[in-house]
Amino acid sequence: MTAASEPGRQAASAPGRPEPRHGLRIFLIWLVASAIADPLIWFLLGPHMPPGAMSGSAAHQQTTINVMALMSAPVLLFVLIYFGYALVVWRHREGDEGDGPPIHGNARISTIWIAATSVIVLALFGYGTVELIVPAGAGAGEGPTPIWKPSGGRPLQVQVIAQQWVFTYRYPQFGGVETPQLVLPEGQNVQFNVTSLDVIHSWWAYQLGVKADANPDVNNVAYTKPQQLGTFRVRCAELCGLWHGAMTNVGRVVTPAQFQSWATATETQLAAVTKNLPPYATTYDADAVAGLGKVLTQLGLNGAGGGFYPPEVPVQP
């Protein structure tokens, strides 16, 4: 059992000196620190904040991250400054074996804290929702039935086909040509239809700020609008097997005229293999192939499913 301490024994060492106003001190230190930190974040760090501004969705994400950094810096500073102050000012002095003041709680402080944190959190929620809706989904995959679409006519359709272990791209507006290269026109809305032929992958175009999971038999739609010329890096962001780490390629944003000429040239160049591809669809199922060659059927195959499910399993219940 501990020795009870005298009531009201304070941390001030010399009797007669007024108790310093700790709350005010902490508040002032915090105010100064935040006033320094926030402008640094916004002006120095902000323009360089990932993922950059190469596309509309990336730019909105950059703004969102900046705003959240702006709001979380004061919170972080407040807690750290408070703890730092407490650990310095209210540390145990040698020889003082007494207890601290018996403060069980303070309804006013608790209410203010709860109210303040709720306001901050709800404000962030509101802001985040706005930043999600305004840039047509902020580059995130919206599933097969997107609800936040870009305005201004039909976007360029690019289908992203994820397979183990490479991404290929199909342009339905150019004869359904499939190519491992990704070229996009600047200044035009692009609709990515992301799907997978096997396991779950995730298509992440870093500088474009687009990430959409590729699920088999699912069309995951994401929108963006490239607004700068240049190259961007595509990586797979969902573990998909042995070569997940190598599943990467470089995409290019070019002028609309260059894009047109590239697309039509590719369409011509790859016409021979495009004839062999299935017609463009939002999802593909290679486990059951209609019109498989006779020898293949005689060998007991009904598709490219790897024989995991026996061939007599119904194709689609």
Nearest approach, Cβ of residue 264 and other proteins (Å): 19
The residue among 43 and 298 lying less far from other proteins, judged by its C-beta, is 298
Tell me the C-alpha distance between 226 and 212, whole Å: 16
Question: Residue 4 corresponds to which amino acid?
Answer: A
Return the residues of window 112-131 that contact other proteins according to CB under 8 A.
113-114, 117-118, 121-122, 124-125, 128-129, 131
Which span sits near other proteins by CB under 8 A: 30-38, 46-54, 151-159, 184-192? Answer: 46-54
Select from 34, 54, 55, 57 the one that contacts other proteins (CB under 8 A).
57
Are 259 and 184 in contact, with CB atoms under 8 Å apart?
yes
Return the residues of window 199-258 that contact other proteins according to CB under 8 A.
199-200, 202, 204, 206, 209-213, 215-218, 220, 233, 235-246, 248
The residue among 119 and 256 lying less far from other proteins, judged by its C-beta, is 119
When asked if residue 263 is in the footprint of other proteins (CB under 8 A), the reply is: no
Find, among 176, 138, 136, 141, the residue nearest to 159 by Cα: 176
Nearest approach, Cβ of residue 258 and other proteins (Å): 20
When asked if residue 187 is in the footprint of other proteins (CB under 8 A), the reply is: no
Unique residue bearing structure tokens 């930043």: 131
Helix (H) or strand (E) holding 159: strand 156-163
Select from 30, 34, 51, 182 the one that contacts other proteins (CB under 8 A).
51
Q: Which residues contact 133 (CB under 8 A, 6 or more apart)?
A: 148
When asked if residue 261 is in the footprint of other proteins (CB under 8 A), the reply is: no
Which two three-digit tokens encode residue 213? 């999971």
Tell me the C-alpha distance between 8 and 305, whole Å: 78
When asked if residue 172 is in the footprint of other proteins (CB under 8 A), the reply is: no
Nearest approach, Cβ of residue 64 and other proteins (Å): 5
Q: Which residues contact 208 (CB under 8 A, 6 or more apart)?
A: 51, 54, 55, 57, 58, 139, 224, 226, 232, 251
